[in-house]
Structure formats: C-alpha cells, structure tokens
Structure 1
Amino acid sequence: MSQPSQDHILVIDDEPVVRESLAVYLSDSGFKVDTARSGDEGLALFRNNKPDLVICDLRMPLVDGLDVLKAINSESSETPVIVVSGQGSMNDVVTALRNGAVDYLFKPLIEMEVLEHSVRRALERGHLLKQNRQIREQLELTNAELERSLDLLEEDQEAGRRVQLRMLPPTPHVFNETCHFSHRIIPSLYLSGDFVDYFRIGPDRIGFYLADVSGHGASSAFVTVFLKSLTNRIQRHYEKRAASNTLSPARLMRDINKELISMAMGKHLAMFCGVVDLTENKLIYCIGAHFPPPILINDGVASALEGRGLPVGIFSDATFEDIVIPLAQKFSLVAMSDGVLEVLPEGSMEAREAHLLQVVSQGPKDADALASLLQVDGDMEVPDDIALLVVNRNE
C-alpha cells in the first residue's frame, strides 16, 4: 500500500462497479476519494469539497462528462480532469482534450497502474499550476505594494525637493547694489547632494560656499539641511553682534569637519567657502578638496584659485587655511561642483580644466548664462549633481 496522500480525488461514473473499483484502488494507493453517481451530483461535490483531481466518465445521462469537464475547466482551470470512457471515438478524445482534459483513458481499465500513473502525473501538473498562480498572485501583490511604496517615495522625494529648493538662497541676488550672486543646481536625482548658500555678514561682507556632498539622494541631501542650519546660526551670530571680526572660512570648515565626524553619517564634503569683503576689496577663501578649482576674473584676466585641502568630514586632524587675495573693482568669481566635468567634451582632465577656463573667460553674467555656455540644461539627465555659483561685481 502506498503512503497516505493529502490529495483529494473525485470519481464521477454512473456505473457502480467501475465507480467502486476506482475508489477502492485509489484509496488503497493513499488518496482520499469521493464518488458521485451522476454529472450533477459530481459537480455539487466538486463545488463543495474542492478536490485536487477529477476522474469523470464521458457517457452519462442528463449531465454528461463533457458538460462536467467544461464546467470544471470554467470554474477551476487548475483542477486536472481525467476522462474515462468505454465507448469513445477518436473524435471524443480530441473534443475532451480541447475542452481541458489532461488525459483520456479507455474502459475497461485492466492495468490500474496506468490509471495511477496518469493520476500522479495530473496531480503534479495541477500542483504546479496552483503554485504558479500563487506565485503570480504574490508577485502581483508585491508589485502593487512596490508601486504604492514608489508613489509614496516619489511624494516624499518631491516634498523633500521642495523643501531643499526653499532652503536655497534667492537667485539672482544683489548685495550692496553692486555685488551680484546667482546659482544653479541640477540634481541627478530628485534630491541634490550639491548645495549653495550666500549670506550677509555685517554691512560690507558676504559669506558664501559651494558644497558637494558624497553620494546622491536623500542621505546626501540631509547633510545640506545641516549646512543650512549652520549658515543660519552664523547669520544669527553676526546679527546679535556687530562684530568687526570677519568670518574665517577655514574656521567654519573646521567646525563642519568636527560636526560631520561626530554625526557618523559616513558622509563627507568637497567644499569651497569664502568671504567677499567689499570695503577692503579682498576675497578670503578656503578649499577643502573642491574640484575643479574656482576661477576668478580680475580686470578681465581669468585664473584658477590656488589651494586644494582635504575633504571635510573624514579626518579628525584635518587642517584648513584661509587664503586672501585682492579683488579688482570689477571681478567675477565662478565655482562649479565636479559633476560639471561629466558633461564636458571628452578629453584629459587638463583639457577639461582648460575648457572650463575658456568658458568662464567669456564672463557669464550669472549662473543661467554659465549653464548655457556649458550646454547644461535643467531638464537633462546628468550622472552627477551639478552646482554652479557665479559672483559678479561690475563697478
């Protein structure tokens, strides 16, 4: 006797001897078996008991086997049906198979092993169909949940993008009627890891920075929130104190370095930070691994600013130094994040730097004009965030 099976078989046949012999053999083979004397009784048992397989006689009064087969295939196409008949023709075989039967056996069933082989093969097929359906349904549920999650993520990212855009300073913006600041941010994702800010420090000084946070997306954008918070603290400090001391970009970068390391976010910055002193006509700046180097145009002569420095937020013992250079009455200062290098014409790094120097030498009046010269469109897909900062004084 075979091992007991969890599979449930329904035998529908109007001949008592055939019906009972099939039931006894299949029960001895380990299956749970129900029997029905007619097609309508068989359909009722099928709908109530949900068997795993149906064995059905083709020729029965009233509701015949073909009607039963069509009904089962319509209601549960995964349930295999084996048709048996003692009077069937080849046309009956073809008709049964076309209507969903998985096998067709002829009476009398002398070798019952043939029946058992057909039953087990049909059950395996039925189980596979059910498993496939369950997997498909699970995938559909997973995909639906994923789509809902993506919709929520896009909503969150869009909300984050709006917040980040509101944190940016106005562009263009004029300080003391002569000094024009403007910026342009082109993110590679919804949220940008590049950030720009500029702010007044006392009556005649303007602080600014361009920061490129490592990585992309929300985690990098979070660091820009921290930077903006720091900027606000600086502004409040100088508003409360009519301090004559000029903000030190190097000291600011040391503070950011210390706080980023303590936050343990695994993020660091490439940063260019400076102060434009409109009274003493000088630029005080500090560079922390910022590349490409900022470009200054003094009286029509363009040159890259010196200084490289270490990244901000990696080394606890990193040192940063202020560099002071004079400013002409008419000057332009341009800073760009390294994402701009990805959209320049192919060539060596030296060639790309030379190309940037040539573009900036044309004296773009603002960040939009610079973007146009670089052929960087706000709607284009870029592999890395791009930030542009342009400062002009045209006296």
Structure 2
Amino acid sequence: MALKDVAVLLVEDDPVFRQVVASFLCSRGASVCEAADGEQGLSKFSQQRFDVVLADLSMPVMGGLDMLKAMSGLDARVPSIVISGNNVMADVVEALRLGASDYLVKPIPDLYIIEQAINQCLAEVTHTDPVLSQLEELSYQELNDNLALLEQNAQAAKSVQQQLFPASNISYPHAKIDYSLFKDNDISAYFIDSTMVGSEHLILYMAHFHPEDNRAAFGCVLLRSFVNQKLKLFRNGLSKTIIEPFNMLSYLNERMVKSGLDIYVDIIYISIELTKFRAGIAQAGQGLRCYLRNNEGLSPLALPESLQLGILDWGKPSIQFRTLMPGEQLCIATHDPLHKRLLLQNQFKGLVYDVNIPAGGFIQLRL
C-alpha cells in the first residue's frame, strides 16, 4: 500500500472530518494516532515517534501554530502538513515559516490529495543529503545573524544594506556589469547582485521590495542569503537550481513566503551561459523591465505578466531564453523614462543618494 507503515499523528478538532481522514489513511496502510486538539497532539507527539504530523490550524485549547512551535522544539526533523480554511491564510504563512512542509485548504475535494502530500514530504526527508542539511543550517545561521542585527535599529539596517551593494563596475572573465541605483532616503527599496557560478555561468538579478521602508533592508539580506545558499549547493555538486531561472524564482518565492516578513518583490533573474552567449531570463512582478541594448537603443523583451514574489498562491514566473548577438547588451531597468535616458548615456555610478532623481535605476551586462 502507498502509505504502508507510515506513522501519522492526525490532530483535528472536527470529529467527523478526523474520522474520515483517519479511516482513509488506515485504508492506505498508515498507522494513525488521533488527537482532538493541539494539547492532546503535543502530548502524543512527546510520547512516541511519528513519521509525519497532519494538523488543523484552528483548534481549541491549543491552536495548531502553538502546537507546531512546541513540536519543533521537541523534534524538528518530523515533517508536518497543515490544514486550513480559506479565512486563515495568514496562519498558513506562519506555519510554513515555522517549518511546515506543506499546506492543504478545506474543503479537500479528494482524500488522495492528503496521501500525495504525505508521500511528497516523506520523500523530501528521505532524500535529504547530510551535507545538504549542514549547508542549509549554516545558511540559516548566517541569515538569522543578519536579521538580528537589522532588528536593532534603522542605522544598523542602513549599514548592513550598504555593505551588500557591489561596486558600480564589476568585471568577470568574459563579462562586465555596470549599474546605477538611486535612492531618496536611507534605505534603498531596490537591490542588484551578480556572481560567477562555476567557470561557465554568471547570474545577475535586480529586485524591488515592497513596502519601501526598513523592511527592504530585510529583503536584501533574505535575497542574498537564499541565493548564497543555492550557490554553496552548486559548488558542492548538490544542486543546479541557481543557474535555472524558473526554478530559482520558484525557490525564492517559497523562502520569501516562509520568512513571514510580508515582503513582496518584483525581480528579474538572469543566468548567462558564457560560452554560448545564452541567457535564461525569469521575471516576477511588473515593476522592472528587461531590455536588449544595441546601437539603435533599447528594445524591451516581451515577458508575460506574473505575480510578485512573496505571495502564497503564487503561480509561475514568466521566462524567456535569448542568445545574445555581437554588440548586444542585456539590461534591467525600472519604468521611469529618466532612468532609461541615464542608461543610454552610460551614467553608471553604483548606489547614489539623490532626492532629485526618482528611486530606482538600471543594470547592464556586457559580454
């Protein structure tokens, strides 16, 4: 059977729904332990070992969020799947931030959806490489250290963000990147970054964070930390996600949602295969635009509309592949006409404080 010998802790206050789900899971081979509220669930969790926890979020005595937080303190290795009504999606976001593997929304039209969710999260646990876990733990420690610093005061946020911005001109083997970002207060709502990935790929991205306040500094740290995590995995031969724009934006959206910081991001993410002059371009949100630049000016690339990062029911990024011709540059810019004029004038100055220029800017890749 599909769930043979899988030990499930089912925590649900609705006795009818709990019985229906328990009967189904047992019929599929699982061993099910039932609890009527979070307090009972936590008690049973502390007394025996389970392969997965399936829990409602809205329960009396102890709610699902408090229960999951307490369970994480006892054994964070056990995956959990949360069940929610449509009216408590904010709790789902918090549950994902606490480490829940997946979520299901009531009413559940087909109980096999639950079986599929259980199998998927168990597969992720089974195939977790110990080296991968160690690297993820290191990355999250770096992230937590940075976020703790940002929480101290606005000056710390400004200082950390400024350290993340590169020089205005960055030279790589076979490529050069130039940019200007203009800000009109201490914190920039825009961020750019780039790095070599191995010897054959270069990635670059530009992001615009919402809301445009101190949380943008949090957003920069989050984004850089998540990208660095995938970069480490690539260098250790464990993942190619960082050079796959579609998968990278999907991953970044998942991590932004789980951060629980209510930050939304317009982003264009580009991966260049340097030996073939081939670019993969993925976009989320509509606040930025990608252009090809040549002697005739800027030509916008037609990318379909897509949602910003940070949205739970996100969908998919828009994506395009392009082979750059001799003399072509690849650019990302905000929609402001002044920024595009400055780009065409090659006004590359890095991060600039200027109240007379609208916030935003541009980045250019030249091979």
TM bucket normalised to smaller: 0.5 to 0.7
Distance 1:200 1:192 in 2: 24
- Give, in whole Å, the separation in 2 of the partners of 1:244 and 1:219: 29
Q: What CA distance in whole angstroms lies between the structure 1 residues aligned with 2:265 and 2:240? A: 29
**In 1, Cα distance between equivalents of 2:178 and 2:222:** 21
Assess, with a 3 A threshold, how the Cα gap between structure 1 residues 383 and 172 changes in structure 2: closer, same or farther: closer
Task: Tell me the CA shift for residue 325 of structure 1.
Answer: 0.8
Where structure 1 has 5 or more consecutive residues not aligned to the other structure, the ranges are: 1-152, 345-354, 372-376
Does residue 1:264 correspond to 2:260, yes or no?
A: yes
Listed one character per residue, the Cα deviations across residues 338-384 of structure 1 (whole Å, up to 9, x for unaligned) are 5x45xx4xxxxxxxxxx93x665x473x623xx9xxxxx93421686
Q: Distance in 1 between matches of 2:203 and 2:164?
A: 16
Is structure 2 residue 362 aligned with structure 1 residue 385? no
Give aligned-pair identity as a percent.
15
CA gap of 1:384–1:220, structure 2 versus 1, over 3 A, is farther
- How is 1:111-130 mapped onto 2 (pairs within 5 angstroms)? none
Question: With structure 1 as the length reference, what TM-score do the two structures score?
Answer: 0.49
Cα distance in 2, alignment partners of residues 335 and 218 from structure 1: 24
Q: Secondary structure at the match of 1:293?
A: strand
| Secondary structure at 1:261 match in 2 | helix
Change (3 A) 1:235 1:294: same
Instruction: Specify the SS of the correspondent of 1:197.
Output: strand
Instruction: Name the CA distance, whole Å, in 2 between partners of 1:332 and 1:363.
Output: 14
Q: Distance in 1 between matches of 2:269 and 2:360?
A: 17
* Cα deviation code 1:58-92 (max 9, x no counterpart): xxxxxxxxxxxxxxxxxxxxxxxxxxxxxxxxxxx
For the Cα contact (< 8 Å) 1:295–1:302, is it kept in 2?
A: yes
Distance 1:317 1:165, change over 3 A: closer
Report if aligned partners of 2:187, 2:213 keep a CA contact under 8 Å in 1: yes
Counterpart of 1:37 in structure 2 is none
2:269 and 2:281 in contact (8 A); partners too: yes
1:164 aligns with 2:161: yes
2:270 paired residue number? 274
Q: Is the CA contact (8 Å cut-off) linking 1:290 and 1:337 kept in structure 2?
A: no
Task: State the match for 1:284 in structure 2.
Answer: 280
Contact 1:367 1:390 (C-alpha < 8 Å) held by counterparts: no
Q: Is the 8 A contact 1:194 1:337 kept in 2?
A: no
What is the alpha-carbon distance in structure 1 between the residues aligned to residue 319 and residue 331 of structure 2? 18
Tell me the CA shift for residue 385 of structure 1: 3.2
Distance 1:319 1:231 in 2: 19
On the 8 A contact 2:184/2:354 being kept in 1, the answer is: no
Looking at structure 2, the residues matched to 263 and 271 of structure 1 have their Cα atoms a distance apart, in angstroms, of 17
Q: Which runs of 4+ in 1 moved over 4 A?
A: 242-246, 298-301
Distance of 1:290 and 1:179 partners within structure 2? 27
Query: Contact 2:284–2:318 (CA<8 Å) still a contact in 1?
Result: no
Q: Secondary structure at the match of 1:310?
A: coil
Equivalent-residue separation in structure 1 for 2:238 and 2:345 (angstroms): 35
Query: 1:226 pairs with 222, 225, 246, which one?
Result: 222
Unaligned segments of structure 2, at least 5 residues: 1-149
Q: 1:388 to 1:201 in 2, by over 3 A?
A: same
The CA distance in 2 between the partners of 1:245 and 1:167, in whole Å, is 22
Q: Per the alignment, do residues 217 and 303 of structure 1 end up closer, same or farther by CA in structure 2, a change over 3 Å counting?
A: same
Specify the alignment match of 2:212 in structure 1. Answer: 216
Decide whether aligned partners of structure 1 residues 156 and 315 sit closer, same or farther in structure 2, where only a CA change above 3 A counts: closer
SS at match of 1:225: helix
- Quick one: which amino acid aligns to residue 224 of structure 1? C
Asked if 1:367 corresponds to 2:348, the answer is: yes
Aligned residue in 1 for 2:323: 326
Task: Quote the Cα distance in structure 1 between the aligned partners of 2:238 and 2:171.
Answer: 22
Corresponding residue for residue 177 of structure 2: 181
Alpha-carbon distance between aligned partners in 1 of 2:300 and 2:342, rounded to the nearest angstrom:
13
Q: Indicate how the Cα distance of structure 1 residues 363 and 300 shifts in structure 2: closer, same or farther if over 3 A, else same.
A: farther
Q: Which residue type is aligned with residue 310 of structure 1?
A: L
In structure 2, what is the equivalent of residue 236 of structure 1?
232
Identify, as 1 or 2, the structure richer in strand: 2
Aligned counterparts of 1:196 and 1:245: Cα–Cα separation in 2: 19
Higher radius of gyration, 1 or 2: 1
Secondary structure of 1:166's counterpart equals helix
- What is the CA distance between 1:199 and its match in structure 2? 0.8
SS of the aligned residue for 1:217 comes to: coil
SS at structure 1 position matched to 2:289: coil
Describe the SS at the equivalent of 2:243: coil
Say which structure, 1 or 2, has more relative contact order (CA 8 Å, 6+ apart): 2
Instruction: State the 1:270 CA deviation.
Output: 0.6
Partners of 2:293 and 2:361 lie apart in 1 by 19
Per-residue CA deviation, residues 251-274 of structure 1 (Å, 9 max, x unaligned), is: 111111112222232221111111
Query: How far has the Cα of 1:318 moved from its partner?
Result: 1.3
CA distance in 2, matches of 1:170, 1:235: 20
Q: Distance in 1 between matches of 2:240 and 2:259?
A: 32
Any residues of structure 2 matched to 1:247-262 within 5 Å, and which?
247-262=243-258
What is the CA distance between 1:242 and its match in structure 2?
Answer: 8.7
Asked whether the equivalents of residues 212 and 337 of structure 1 are also in contact (C-alpha less than 8 Å), the reply is no
CA deviation map 1:207-240 (0-9, x unaligned)? 1110000122211210111001012112212221
Take 2:236 and 2:168, find their aligned partners in 1: how far apart are those partners? 26
Q: Which secondary structure state, in structure 1, belongs to the residue aligned with residue 167 of structure 2?
A: coil
Distance 1:166 1:337 in 2: 23
Q: Which amino acid aligns with 1:204?
A: E
